[in-house]
Structure 1
């Protein structure tokens, strides 16, 4: 017999009269309408043991491309393991204003709260990158949010935090993520504010964390809720959670990662303080910090962080100057910078290798931010955009979209030499989509030239138009 939950929903949340809905448990359900008068919907996940006899915690997941089903699926295993309802809107967009996105999110909240038995003090937000930043703003606009799981991004605006409206902040970040330092600094700032928070660190870059880290974040929220009395304390759950997390710390120590082990110990002390004696953890932390390896790695990391910040400042300064002056002559300098970053990949110093990856991610994010800002202007500076597209082919040569933009823009301005140069660079980096190329906007005259088709034939073995020889 299929596990199906049949709920009778009254009121105007989904229609003006009573209606019946069949919601499957243990799978992601997409396309649930917010109401009949708006073209808005969201995806929903109910854990397999869901029933209506008790109230449940919920995590609302924010994705700024409106991929409700996909992001709910990413969280679903963690939601199943920790017993959380999940929901994500299909209508949030980076192109919308903050107020528009908040209103969309609020309508989804109200819809779900009318549909399911939700624990009022256990309503949480989550997201990755720009979605995480919006999630961190929601407690400012909507009261009653118990916590935020922020992946790969720090709190959007620290100035709006208030001790009168606290929420539990859990950051998750890779140690090769360009936001890594920012999230470490944010955690220290939140500690000074006495704001409840933990930061989970994994090995990786600017990417979604694995199920294990998402599950741990939800587990932390449950432990915290038990400490606040928002949910009955479960001693067995607390003991098992504590032992499991302590085992993770031991594994970090064994693998010679004392900095991460110390960080994790400090997070556990804060989290489990309402439930257990933490004297033994304090002693372990003191012993760890006295070790030679810890001191050496801590000194090494601080040196690397200082160097990294100087390089980031240079990137920011020179990029701003180059955009203002359309400094195409400086593209060679940027190419040199990328070669320097490649040297870090071969460094014998682990911290230096990770810095190199963070700097590459930072530079690409910085360029992307400037592209977005230029596009948002009432009068778009196409020349500045073209410079940034060219820079992107240097910093991210595998992204073919920027070569195509340059080819199109240059052809529109009858700069066929530039178009042909980037056409060949495009092919050298592995591009093969002939149909897309011959449909490229603004290139009608360019793509019938012998030069264009000669290059296409050279790399793709055949061109669409014959090459006539005199």
Structure 2
């Protein structure tokens, strides 16, 4: 259903321009607009101050994993004002089945495309956590969107919902304490192997919506991808974005965050190579990679990731087994394993501390997800087990 609807978009857009658009207040989140043709679906809307009713507009569809539409829209407002994007976030799409979310998305698309004049080549998708996976699935199935901003999670497990030969640009955003951090690193390698147009922006943060600064950085990157496709006279804006990107490199180096500085070097070189000469920048990057300090940080980081893979897989396997046989759960074993993590955290460096945080939160998130799923099933033993795991990892303080 989703693919069929989006393939009709080109035909639909020809009729939209003759329809009168509704007038909405600009520069304000409007959080409960009913979706046409439904009885219980609504969305939040943000119209940038530069919006003009008689012109085609770019748009960002946002998917929030807990259907908190206002929370989903807020980080995007600075980017929306800069690039004049309409922002739309469903009040109904949440972590649930893909079919359910596709139906909600279809209804939302039908409403928006019949009420706004949208630029066919400037439609974007974004989401956080499970919403990120929904955004990627829609982009991959339809191949009708210019880009995806994937926050805090990568691709769905269904092969058809993953990128392959599609033409959209993909920006990953993830904090270094996010339990999906390693997944996003692997996704980057996967996309590089496919030669898929992508970048990954990492930052200090946990499993939550990125700050407006990171969202804006993602849309700066997407804007530059658009400029690569068509000749442009935006020389001053390109220069400003390049200087901003270079400033980030210098800031990372000043804080001795050499891995992140290298990441920023790579992104800057790849992004701006079509616009400016980068010989000096490439030489600087190679010089950084040759330093003892960088090699030491890279080795430490690699070792931590390997250690994380081993520990996380062991805990994941044990948790799966415990939920299959709740009565046989040995919490003494879990207490010992978590105590080992506490020791690692206490004695380890920053990378190790971040690793321990990710592992613990992953256990918590899996238990929390199980508990939410079990709310719709009568399985008191598994529900109690999920609650016990949650208390074990993050005991409440009085």
TM-score (norm 2): 0.89
Question: 5 Å matches for 1:428-443?
Answer: 429-430=397-398
Match of 1:276 in 2: 276
Deviates more, 1:77-86 or 1:98-107: 77-86
Is contact 2:94–2:131 with CA below 8 Å preserved after alignment? no
Note the C-alpha offset of 1:130: 0.7
Match of 2:110 in 1: 110
Note the C-alpha offset of 1:39: 2.9
Give the CA RMSD over aligned residues: 2.3
Question: 5 Å matches for 1:165-204?
Answer: 165-204=166-205
SS of the counterpart of 1:102?
helix
381, 388, 391: which is aligned to 1:390? 388
Note the C-alpha offset of 1:67: 2.0
* Matched length: 381
Cα distance in 1, alignment partners of residues 324 and 157 from structure 2: 28
SS of the counterpart of 1:23?
coil
Query: CA deviation digits over 1:94-144, x for unaligned, max 9?
Result: 24x312211211221232223223221111111111111111111133331
SS of the counterpart of 1:178?
coil
Judged with a 3 Å threshold, the aligned counterparts in structure 2 of structure 1 residues 174 and 386 are, in CA distance, closer, same or farther, namely same
Is contact 1:308–1:359 with CA below 8 Å preserved after alignment? yes
Question: 5 Å matches for 1:283-294?
Answer: 283-294=283-294
Question: 5 Å matches for 1:57-456?
Answer: 57-95=58-96, 97-157=97-157, 159-160=159-160, 161=162, 163-229=164-230, 232-327=232-327, 330-372=330-372, 374=374, 380-398=378-396, 429-430=397-398
Deviates more, 1:348-357 or 1:316-325: 316-325
Judged with a 3 Å threshold, the aligned counterparts in structure 2 of structure 1 residues 337 and 82 are, in CA distance, closer, same or farther, namely farther
Cα distance in 1, alignment partners of residues 329 and 174 from structure 2: 36
Deviates more, 1:106-115 or 1:210-219: 106-115
The structure that has the greater radius of gyration is: 1
Is contact 2:75–2:215 with CA below 8 Å preserved after alignment? no
SS of the counterpart of 1:172?
strand
Judged with a 3 Å threshold, the aligned counterparts in structure 2 of structure 1 residues 19 and 242 are, in CA distance, closer, same or farther, namely closer
Query: CA deviation digits over 1:266-303, x for unaligned, max 9?
Result: 11222222222333332122111101011001111111
SS of the counterpart of 1:22?
coil
SS of the counterpart of 2:22?
strand
Cα distance in 2, alignment partners of residues 90 and 233 from structure 1: 39
Note the C-alpha offset of 1:89: 1.0
> Could you list the runs of 5+ residues in structure 1 that have no partner in the other structure?
1-10, 12-17, 399-428, 431-470
TM-score (norm 1): 0.76
Higher relative contact order (CA 8 A, sep 6+): 2
Judged with a 3 Å threshold, the aligned counterparts in structure 2 of structure 1 residues 316 and 26 are, in CA distance, closer, same or farther, namely same
Is contact 2:57–2:85 with CA below 8 Å preserved after alignment? yes
Judged with a 3 Å threshold, the aligned counterparts in structure 2 of structure 1 residues 262 and 19 are, in CA distance, closer, same or farther, namely closer
SS of the counterpart of 1:65?
coil
Match of 1:35 in 2: 36
SS of the counterpart of 1:24?
coil
